Amino acid sequence: MPVNTIEGMEFKGKKVFLRAGFDVPINSEGKILDDFRIKETIPTIKTLFRKGAKQIIIGSHQGRPKTAEDQSPSKVAKKVLQHKEKHLQMDEIAKLIFKLTKKSTQKLDDCINFREEEFPSPEDARIVVLENLRFYKEEEENDEEFAEELAKYADIYVNDAFAVSHREHASMCAITNFIPGCVGLLVEKEIRAFNKILKNPERPYMAIIGGAKLKTKLPLIQNLIDKVDKLFLGGAMIFTFYKAKGINIGKSPLDKDSLAMAQMLGNNDKIMLPKDIVISDDPESTNSINVTIDKIPSYMYGLDVGEQSVIEFKKKIAKAKTIIWNGPLGYYENPFFAKATVNILKFLAQSPEIKTIIGGGDTASLVMKLGLKDKFFHVSTGGGASLKLLETNTLIAIKYLEENNK
């Protein structure tokens, strides 16, 4: 692994800036609904303390603050503080960190512009949780001044935010210009898992790709088509493929800009599209029927992979040695249209001989809800990051670390 890791660096007596990926599902009151990403970073925190770290300063973002475009330059912190959205503050995350680590933890009301005497000492707080980094627009602008402000709190930088490592943001990239750094245990685990399939997958090697927007999945499909032995497609994006074949898709979503590419890819023998579909006149309904793809009425929506196609998919998948999965196969937000995804997930969970990598995002959330995490070779914490890694074999934040630690 070309980038520095925790085991290769000295932490005794050092203060560490830990960039974590704690952007987790929350409700309107800021209560945490899924703590998977947070728990996955706890081993890194414990290892840093075991190796003698004096204090860990945790920086992360939460959600997409609506006021980002209105926020002031980083020199005028007071104005930013007036615009913080309460449910996106890091208070609940700090409480959970304390509960999981049993280390003295203090959450701050800002993330920069502290006078030296204002910042908690290691005696007062072994863990310091900074306020949501995205309350400053400079974070997403990869602003050098903002990154330098973050870096001055610590001696060493650790990137354990795999889920954001495809973003060229200040706390992910520019910060590496100011202090030496490495990847945390979570990022190391993620990269090693993906490298196993990117470099030398056991064959037959297959992919399951779902999701709503074909445009976002096209680069992944194009990158995988020459590498896999079979590629199964599901989700709302499949209706553009059907339309390209001249099939009526009713009210199902259509990506007109991707029709030409869908027509070309749809002729590839490696791609397997469902032959039957679950349809309804209302995506929020519990009423549905199963039809072949050429029998979708003009007033109906295609919402899940059909029963016969699930059986056919499973017959093919059973022969695989390696599988990468990115994106649900149906409108999973309604449990009635998550059946195909759940059915195949449970099938793979009972097939330990198949190395299955779940590429984060909505599919990983379903895995966690089903209690199946330990049944798979790897469940990623980052949907967008895993997508980018599979598309390009690189992540921008990792490139910054490599370049600045030569």
Give yes or no: residues 107 and 155 share one domain: yes
Given this model, what pLDDT does residue 82 score?
Answer: 46
Q: Which of 46, 51, 84, 213 is catalytic?
A: 213
Give yes or no: residues 237 and 358 share one domain: yes
Tokens of 138: 């400079």
Any domain includes 208: yes
Question: What is 90-119 written as a DSSP string?
Answer: SHHHHHHHHHHH-S-EEE-S-SS---TTTS
Residues 134 and 64: beta-carbon distance below 8 Å: yes
Q: Which domain holds residue 44?
A: 6-190
CA angle at 156 for the pair 154 and 157, rounded to the nearest 5°: 95
301-305 vs 15-20, strand pairing mode: unpaired
Give yes or no: residues 361 and 224 share one domain: yes
User: Can you give the pTM of this predicted structure?
Assistant: 0.91
Any domain includes 229: yes
Give yes or no: residues 238 and 300 share one domain: yes
Instruction: Give the CATH number of the domain where residue 169 resides.
Output: 3.40.50.1260
> Is there a catalytic annotation at residue 213?
yes
Any domain includes 344: yes
Give yes or no: residues 10 and 158 share one domain: yes
Given this model, what pLDDT does residue 1 score?
Answer: 58
Any domain includes 356: yes
Give CA–CA dist 333/400, Å, rounded.
37
Give yes or no: residues 150 and 209 share one domain: no
Q: Which residue has the tokens 């937000």?
A: 333
Number of domains the chain contains:
2
Give yes or no: residues 69 and 131 share one domain: yes
> Is there a catalytic annotation at residue 371?
no
Give yes or no: residues 266 and 344 share one domain: yes
Residue positions counted in the chain? 406
Give yes or no: residues 219 and 133 share one domain: no
> Is there a catalytic annotation at residue 211?
no
> Is there a catalytic annotation at residue 330?
no
Which residues partner with 230 through β-bridges? Answer: 206
The conformation of residue 26, written as its DSSP 8-state character, comes to B
Give CA–CA dist 51/36, Å, rounded.
24
Q: Which of 37, 107, 126, 251 is catalytic?
A: 37
Any domain includes 179: yes
Domain boundary among 169, 190, 211: 190
Any domain includes 398: no
Which of the residues in the chain have pLDDT under 50?
68-69, 71-82
Amino acid at position 314, single letter: K
Residues 5 and 405: beta-carbon distance below 8 Å: no
Give CA–CA dist 117/248, Å, rounded.
68
Sign of the dihedral through C-alpha 132, 137, 139, 145: negative
Given this model, what pLDDT does residue 79 score?
Answer: 40
Q: Which of 361, 382, 383, 388 is catalytic?
A: 361
Any domain includes 383: no
Give CA–CA dist 320/337, Å, rounded.
25
Give yes or no: residues 32 and 166 share one domain: yes
Give yes or no: residues 61 and 208 share one domain: no
Give yes or no: residues 219 and 98 share one domain: no
